Amino acid sequence: MKYTELFKTIQKEGFDEETALLTTIAQAIHLELKVEEEDVTIPGRFLERMEESIRNVLWEEDQEKIEEILVLESTLHTFDMCRNLKGFGGCVERSLKSLFHEALEKESKIKEK
């Protein structure tokens, strides 16, 4: 998905312009990050590096906004995959907003433990 298309899609789903822009930036960081040898051998290493890179770029934002952006960015792959598969393999197209809220609930349950 092109960055402009991604930005417009996030806005169409009801997110504000700032969230759409910051999520597009986070997605660009994710896609540009090179995979290192440790990323393959150490579980979770790539996600840690990606999250750190995003936090470094968005350092001016408050912590709650950064968490929201990280969760939204992580749901983009599922959203795009389901949209492209169009029912193939039992994948049902869902809105980005519903996927985001589902991921946010999972994230809060993990933090509670």
Q: Could you list the pLDDT tens digit for every one of the 113 residues in the chain?
A: 789 999 999 999 999 999 999 999 999 999 999 999 999 999 999 999 999 999 999 999 999 999 999 999 989 888 887 777 777 777 777 888 888 888 888 877 776 76
Contacts of 30 (CB under 8 A, 6+ apart): 50, 54, 73
In the DSSP assignment, the letter for residue 80 is: H
The four Cα atoms 2, 7, 12, 17 give a dihedral, to 10 degrees, of -170
**What's the whole-model pTM score?**
0.83
For residue 30 the two structure tokens come to 């994710």
